[in-house]
Every structure is written in C-alpha cells, then in structure tokens.
Structure 1
Amino acid sequence: MATLVLIRHGRTVWGEENRFTGWGDTAIDDVGVKEAKAAASLLKKLGSFDLCLSSRLKRSQQTLEIIAETIGLGSGALASDWRLNERHYGALQGELRDDMAKRYGDAQIAEWRRSFHGKPPALPEDDPRLAEQFERFPEIDPALQPRTESMADGAARTRPVWTEIIAPALKAGKDVLVVAHTSPIRGIVREIEGLTDEQCGSFRVATAVPKRYVFDDDLAVIDNRYLLGGVGDRIRLLKKQA
C-alpha cells in the first residue's frame, strides 16, 4: 500500500485582499501559517513521506517548508515542479475581483472562474507582469510559459506530473505529499477519480485541509478522505464545497 496526500497551500495575502492570484507570487499570511502548522500536526500522525512536491510559487513552498519542519523531513525528500503551479489567470492576475467584476460583469467573471474551459484575457506580451514572470522562471522556455489558462489547461499541464512522477512513486510503495493549488490538485484528482469536465468545474478544495488517498499495488483507491483536525477545518471545507 502507498499513501498520497494532497494539500492546498495556506491562506495568502492576495487571497485575503480578494485578488486574482494565478502565477502571481503572493506569500501566505499569518492565518496561512497557522493553517499550515495545523495541517502539519495532522500529517505528523501519519508518519513520514518519501517524496514531497510543491509548485514553484512562494505560497506552496512556504506551506511545504512549515510542514517539513514540523514533521522532520530532510531536504532530500523535497522537490518543486513548475507544472504544479496554479492556473494562470492572465490579465486578471493581481487585480481586485470587485474591480474586474465592474469591468467585465459578474457573469463573465463567473464564466472564467467556474467554467472548465473558460479562459481569461491573456497577458499582453508587453505587460510588466509577463516580464516579471519570465525573470522568475528563467529556466523555463518562455514559449512554454502561459499567458492565460482555463481550468482544462491547468489540469492538462499537471497530468505529466502524475504519470511521470507521482504514479511511479506510489507503485514503488512510496508515500507522497503534494502541496500545491486548486488547479493542479484538481488535475491530479481527475486522473485518480476520472472526473468529468463538469465535475472538474465544480471541484473545490479548502486551504490546508489534507486530502488523503491510500492505494493498493495496482493503484486502485482503498481509502479516500479529508483529514480534519477540528471544527475550523470542517467549516472551511464545507464552504468550499458549497
């Protein structure tokens, strides 16, 4: 048997400010730190992990660092992969959601946010946010870096991480932890559970509430549940699933 735990990063500064985030590199805030520590306490009861993956975004890496320190994971077990980055929100990134709703209308914003194939306007090639993105990821071919993405794009980008890294590790009997974002977690869950486009569009995950899968040797799911530490976790999870 092998275990996979999926965790969305803790609450962020931009999230609390109600900004679109995407590939924007916001940090977790004080609440996010507390959420990460609470998640780490739950994971400590499971034991250690052989492989721990994060995205290349600060909020994901900060959350994993807190968990690793609490559990006592060595740096050799930690790795990052840009394909686990959140979906790219294009020209909406960094903007206040209320401002964008006034500019484009609530219905259009809802389409971009909730439709599996809805795609926000792309970042223009001369946009300073795109230049900053290229500077942050110099090792990634600019042609491969998105200017905007739909949920479908984000899920497709994550698929190779499942097939090339996570699934082989699980088949080898290794326990894996992934600390990422809603979009890549959605993509991984799609691979595991065979979610439809409609189910993917409605998929939500609360910040720092671990989702655990236990697999047999053939990667059939034996157990699938959220690890809840208290009333606060349950409330956050219910809000996201509503």
Structure 2
Amino acid sequence: MKGILCDIGGVLYEGDKLISGAVEAIDYLKGKYKIRFLSNSSRNTPENIYKKLKNFGFNIEENEIFTALLAIKKYLIDNNKKAYIIATDEAKEYLKNIKGEGAVVVADAYTNFSYEALNTAFRKIIKGAEFLATNKNRYFKENDELSLDAGAFVAALEYSTEKKAEIFGKPSCKFFTEAINDMNLNKKEVIMIGDDMESDIIGAKKCGIKTVLVKIGKFKESDLKKANPDFVVDSIAKIMKIL
C-alpha cells in the first residue's frame, strides 16, 4: 500500500471538537504514505476546511484536500455552466463568478433549505437544467446530534422531477479516482478511512478500494450489517495498529 484516502468530518474532528489522537495519527500516516483528504461537506470552502485543519494542528497542504464542492466548481468552469445554487452563503460565494447557464446545484444548504428554494430548483430542472449535487448523505453529526444532510433534499427533487442527480462527492467512483490519480497511484495501492458506511466504506469498496471503518463520528453499530470493511478501529488514533 502506498496511499491513504481519509475522510475529514467525523474522522479528524466533529464540529469544533478535535478527535483525540487524530493529529498524531495523520503525522504517522504522512510519514509512510501519500495522502488525500476527502470531504462531501459543502458548507465550507476547501480553503476554510484547510484553515480549520491547520488551526487544529494538522500538518497538511491545501492541495491535499479534495471536496465535492471543488469538484462541482471544476465541472461548471470546464463546461461553461452557471448554476442556480441551494447552499450556504459561503458556498454560493465560492461558486458565484462562474459564467454560463443551465445547471442546478444542491449542496449542504443547512438553514438555507426552504420550499421556495426547492421549488425554484424543481422548476429549473423540469425545464432542462442539469441536476448536480455534492452528495446524497442521509445525515451528519454535529454537537453529538444527527441532523438532516443534503441527501434528503436531493431525494425530494429526484422524486418530484423524475430525474437523477449527478453526484460529485463520495460515493462517486470518479471522485475517489481523481484523488487517487492526483497521487499517481492506482486503486489497488490505496485504502479509504471513513466513518460513513454508505459514502465512505460501501462507496470505496464498490470502486475496488480497501477500507477502514472508524467507530466514531456518525457510525452506528447497525452499520456493520450493511457491509464488511477490511478493517475496523475505534478511532483514527488506533490506525497505527493496522497500517
């Protein structure tokens, strides 16, 4: 093995709380392997996620961070498409100067989800706009509570428009592959570390990538009935025992 794909939220921190031992674990992994940090979160820009990790004390580089929001921005620029965006104000600002037309982006809008926003997106999609989404995560964990994630609202629009969204973050094989290619490796040479059974573990396994499930973040014991990760650890602080 030569490379690591590592989820961020729930693995390295939860909300504003650092996961105990995470900084030391990443130092250990970076001493042995190439690494890319993957996140479906689109509430924050890649730059601000990087700053948050640095403030926690992680020794990382900004170009090691791959996010679904970054993937969508690249797609919009490459295809000359400007989008109607349901997202946080920060994410809207990140995407606002892209020229073109013809797309709808649904991201982690948090408190910006509303009937008006969803109905506007619905109308644009049924008139032919491309339907793009950062992720279809069911929920996220914050302040020790689970909250609805973008997936619930993406599913609502898929149901009403009868169109499937193109997903740009995990569990998209394209998203995993872009991060792997950036390390000049292949999928047999990397392992994915994550807390989300669906987007991190099942998604990576479907792409032929080995996996480590951490029993923290949004993990639930019932998740172990859904798939068989290659390794299971209590938290990333225990990663040295298996890698």
Higher relative contact order (CA 8 A, sep 6+): 1
Greater share of residues in strand: 2
Q: TM-score, normalised by structure 1?
A: 0.39
